[in-house]
Structure 1
Amino acid sequence: MLDTGVGGLTVLGELRTVMPDAPVIFAADQAGLPYGTKSEAEVAARVCGLLGRMAERYRPRLICIACNTASTIALGMVRDVLEIPVVGTVPAIKPAAALTKTGTIGLLGTEATIRQAYVDNLECEFAAGKTMLRHAAPGLVDPTEAKLRGKPVNQSDIDAAVAGLLAKPGASEMDTVVLACTHFPLLRDELAIAFGKNVQLIDGAEGIARRIVSLTQGQKFERSQPDFAVTTGPLDAFTPLASALTRYGIEDIQNF
């Protein structure tokens, strides 16, 4: 399971619920963080190259790209390169469109995610006739990483990061917001305060877990070693997350 940082833990948490016996390697490409401000070419080259090397080293039966930005840009390319199932993480526009009562949906993601043609296609297919307001909120990533390290989150930082979405024309009618970055659900409580009680927050983690279940149906799982995480960045920058990772069943941290 690959993410730039630790946002993918939101997907891992859902996977643990439905597949507690599945052994997992959680890969954090912290040397590449953030993907959201990089060009499409940079993200595609990095994700394809990194997952190619990881697939060769670890021989997984399935890969999950637990990052909306990487998935909307590189999912097709990774599937072309690798001969195992690859599950992506894409904005939960379909369920949001089904839930909205007002017909106005917010999409909160990285700069790269919200501009992708992949997102355009999801909107056309599942949210035709509805209004979708897109907003890049890169300011939410650092508070997420800090929160998992046990540091306090300043609510004013969260409010500032989403203020642009709330200021868009028609935002007063918005009753559903898609959290289109796997980091963002880790700030669900703070985001609920920022948006208010009349806005429901939607993410795709549960659907991704169901997809992994369907692709591994009938397969047997055995752990030959405890589940572990790898990081492409400095190990000492990742070790403060050890207690948070333990809550998700990750017992060891290594360099990749």
Structure 2
Amino acid sequence: MSDTAPILFFDSGVGGLSVVAPTRALLPGAPIVYAADSAGFPYGTRSEAEIAARVPALLGRLVERYRPRLVVIACNTASTIALPAVRAALDVPVVGTVPAIKPAALLSRTRVIGVLGTEATVRQPYVDDLAARFAGDCIVLRHGSAALVTLAEAKLAGDVPDAGAVRRELDGLFSQEHGARLDVIVNACTHFPLLEAELAAVAPPGLRFVDGGPGIARRIAFLTEGQEWPAGVPRDVLVFTRLGEAERRLAAALRFARVEAL
């Protein structure tokens, strides 16, 4: 394999940058292609059938163009719906992103945890299975939020998130029965760690948030152990499936070396 072969990260938007950051900390020399399906954004309000058809097709085109050594689906919604189909379709290793329910259950003292994700993610049977396997003695509350996805995208473009809007989304968990006992919340959307400061500012004292980013980064490092990386500073590529005004504004804020349209 060429030492210039990148790691390909894929998400509906820029939420997967919360996975790129810990990966870059472990693998500073790794070239990265970050692909955002801006034409399909947001996935959380789309049907399972749409996502199951769209994601493998897009990743097939991306792999053909960029020839990555590894693909990371840095999106909980896409992973919980399309991961098996993607792995069957591609001939490169594929790492998925799933809600961090197991570490949340290990941390919880009250045995009440929350899963904060997109509407599509929180209703998946995959989440039922994770809860049954790793949090069987916990009450698992769920709330799907499209608003937090939009707020995270806007924040990276330079806007200041509205604290009241963030608080209202958390209230979707706290207002449920047993919600007052919540002590750990799973950020089950890669966009949500981008709002870490804003979420913490409106959360009750002592509440903890967990996400899968650091664990995914360790998995990527394990799968690429011993591989060669190019010398010098990586020239990362940002790819959009639709490159309009909003995407150009984001690209200017994120400062990738190259910006391309698929």
TM-score, normalization: structure 1?
A: 0.96
How many residues get paired? Answer: 253
Maintained 8 Å contact 1:23/1:223: no
Q: Distance in 2 between matches of 1:209 and 1:197?
A: 28
* Equivalence for 2:248: 239
> Any stretches of 5+ residues in structure 2 without a counterpart?
1-8
Maintained 8 Å contact 1:230/1:253: yes
Q: Distance in 1 between matches of 2:231 and 2:154?
A: 31
> Any stretches of 5+ residues in structure 1 without a counterpart?
none
Equivalent in 249, 252, 255 of residue 258 of structure 2: 252
Equivalent in 43, 52, 74 of residue 60 of structure 2: 52
Counterpart amino acid of residue 49 in structure 1: A
Q: Distance in 2 between matches of 1:71 and 1:243?
A: 28
* Equivalence for 1:7: 15
Q: Distance in 2 between matches of 1:240 and 1:107?
A: 31
Equivalent in 66, 74, 94 of residue 82 of structure 2: 74
Q: Distance in 2 between matches of 1:243 and 1:236?
A: 11
Q: Per the alignment, in what secondary structure is the counterpart of residue 31 of structure 2?
A: coil
* Equivalence for 1:157: 165
Q: Distance in 1 between matches of 2:253 and 2:27?
A: 19
Q: Per the alignment, in what secondary structure is the counterpart of residue 194 of structure 2?
A: helix
Maintained 8 Å contact 1:94/1:126: yes
Q: Distance in 2 between matches of 1:93 and 1:159?
A: 22
Shift of residue 151 of structure 1? 1.1
Q: Percent identity?
A: 51
Shift of residue 252 of structure 1? 1.7
Matched ranges for 1:212-231 at <5 A:
212-222=220-230, 226-231=235-240
Shift of residue 195 of structure 1? 1.8
Q: Distance in 2 between matches of 1:211 and 1:129?
A: 27
Counterpart amino acid of residue 188 in structure 2: A
Q: Distance in 2 between matches of 1:223 and 1:167?
A: 52
Matched ranges for 1:35-50 at <5 A:
35-50=43-58
Counterpart amino acid of residue 151 in structure 1: D
Q: Distance in 1 between matches of 2:243 and 2:226?
A: 38
Q: Per the alignment, in what secondary structure is the counterpart of residue 36 of structure 1?
A: helix
Counterpart amino acid of residue 190 in structure 1: E
1:228 and 1:235, CA in 2 relative to 1: closer, same or farther beyond 3 A? farther
